[in-house]
Amino acid sequence: MADKIVENIRKEAKRILEEKIVDIVIGFEKGTLPYTASPVFIENPDDVDKLIWNRYCHNNLAVYLRNFPDKKIGIIVKGCDSRSIVALMAEKQLTRENIYIIGVPCEGMLDKNKLLEEFGDNPPIEVKEEFLYPSCQYCEHKNPVIYDFLTGEPVQEKEEEPYPDVVEFEKKTLDERWKYFQEEASKCIRCYACRQACPMCYCEECFVDTNSPKWLDPGIDLPDLQVWHIIRAYHQAGRCVDCGACERACPMDIKILWLTRKLNKDVRDLFEFEIGIDPEKVPPLGTFSLYDKEEFLI
């Protein structure tokens, strides 16, 4: 099955490059470490054999789409990556005509660190759900929502409550929640891997990088780290597709996914909105309505 998918990806990539439908194809190549795939950029149709597909293709490739403004791009996407494309289209960051989407239904990506810990360098044959990345465990859009070409059998989507982790988290007391947040934020070294791995963090100038006004001091004082994480999350409210790229990119293993997931759940509950499904629907953060709920004002 996986071999067939790889074969189809290569064939289609070769075709769209040869027929000049696209100038470049963004996909995955074999990584240099165990349990690793790495983003690759193919321009020559003869190079398509570099392309692979496996359970380690966890990066959200949509993050690269804005890097080639003058090119027609072919891109290989999972469910989450396809939602990022829709979200970027909704915010007028991409033109659909310039992108050719090769979709692959995804059974969830495997957590490299968990596998290394459990199996060392010898990959397991059978993989249990517990080895999936947290974002993949909760995923409710395993199948690409938008594509020009689909390879692989559609995967059964989950139908239970999509935010079980957030529901549990909400049960904690305010002090417990704050303490957990502080502990996680305190590990931050401000390398901004979370920001850079995110397709939706596309600001030309991030608020942490401005110096007039200077919103945030440099360095690793806890209050500054907290402000960084809170504002990053708020800017993602209802814009984040829950792909988990931020958490996977973090070299310090900071748990940050729950923060954006909580905000996404709030946006779903308050505005009945889910990002990355309909490119015509603008996220609540990007629009204004006289009928916005304002219970908090009074």
Partner 1 sequence: MKKIDKKRLFERLNNLIKDYVVYAPKGKDFGKIEDTSEIKRESINVRLSPKQVFLPQEEALFTFKQGDIKVPENNEKYILFGIRPCDAKAIALLDKNFDTKDFPDPYYIDRRKNSILIAEACIEPESTCFCTAFGSGPFESKDADALIIDRGDYYLIDGNEKALSLFDGLLEDDGGEKILELKKKAEDSIKSPVVEGIDKKLSSMIDDPIWDEVSRKCITCGACTYLCPTCYCFDIQDVGKDDKYMRERVWDSCMFTVYTLEASGHNPRKEKEKRMRQRVMHKFNYYPFLYDEYGCVGCGRCIKYCPVNVDIRKIITKIMEV
What's the residue count for the chain?
298
- The verdict on 267 binding partner 1 (CB under 8 A) reads no
Rounded to the nearest angstrom, the gap between the alpha carbon of residue 172 and the centroid of all alpha carbons in its chain is: 27
Site size with partner 1, rule: CB under 8 A = 35
| Rounded Cα gap, residues 95 and 124, in angstroms | 41
71 φ, ψ to 5°?
Answer: -115, 155
Nearer to partner 1, 49 or 209 (CB): 209
Nearer to partner 1, 38 or 98 (CB): 38
Q: Which of 8, 15, 23, 38 binds partner 1 (CB under 8 A)?
A: 38
Smallest gap from Cβ 293 to partner 1, in A, equals: 36
Nearer to partner 1, 109 or 267 (CB): 109
Strands 24-30 and 37-42: antiparallel
Q: How many helices (H) and strands (E) does the chain have?
A: 10, 5
90 and 145 Cβ atoms separated by less than 8 Å: no
**Cβ-proximal residues to 53 (8 Å cutoff; 6+ apart), any chain:** 2, 5, 6, 9, 27, 28, 76, 104
Task: Look at residues 71, 10, 75 and name the one whose alpha carbon lies nearest to residue 46.
Answer: 10
Nearer to partner 1, 213 or 219 (CB): 219
| Rounded Cα gap, residues 8 and 58, in angstroms | 19
| Rounded Cα gap, residues 162 and 59, in angstroms | 21
Stretch that binds partner 1, among 26-34, 91-99, 236-244, 285-293 (CB under 8 A): 26-34
Q: Which of 63, 185, 200, 237 binds partner 1 (CB under 8 A)?
A: 63
Binding mask 114-153 for partner 1 (x = CB under 8 A): -------x--------------------------------
Smallest gap from Cβ 214 to partner 1, in A, equals: 8
Q: Which of 6, 16, 53, 59 binds partner 1 (CB under 8 A)?
A: 59
Q: Which of 161, 209, 266, 269 binds partner 1 (CB under 8 A)?
A: 209
Q: Quickly list DSSP for 46-105.
A: GGGGG-B--TT--S-GGGGGGG-TTS-EEEEE-HHHHHHHHHHHHTT---GGGEEEEE--
Stretch that binds partner 1, among 47-55, 169-177, 187-195, 282-290 (CB under 8 A): 187-195
Q: Which of residues 219-258 bind partner 1 (CB under 8 A)?
A: 219-221, 245, 248-249, 251-253
Nearer to partner 1, 175 or 204 (CB): 204
- The verdict on 71 binding partner 1 (CB under 8 A) reads no
Give the footprint of partner 1 on this chain (CB under 8 A): 31-34, 36-41, 59, 63-64, 67, 121, 189-193, 195-197, 209, 217-221, 245, 248-249, 251-253
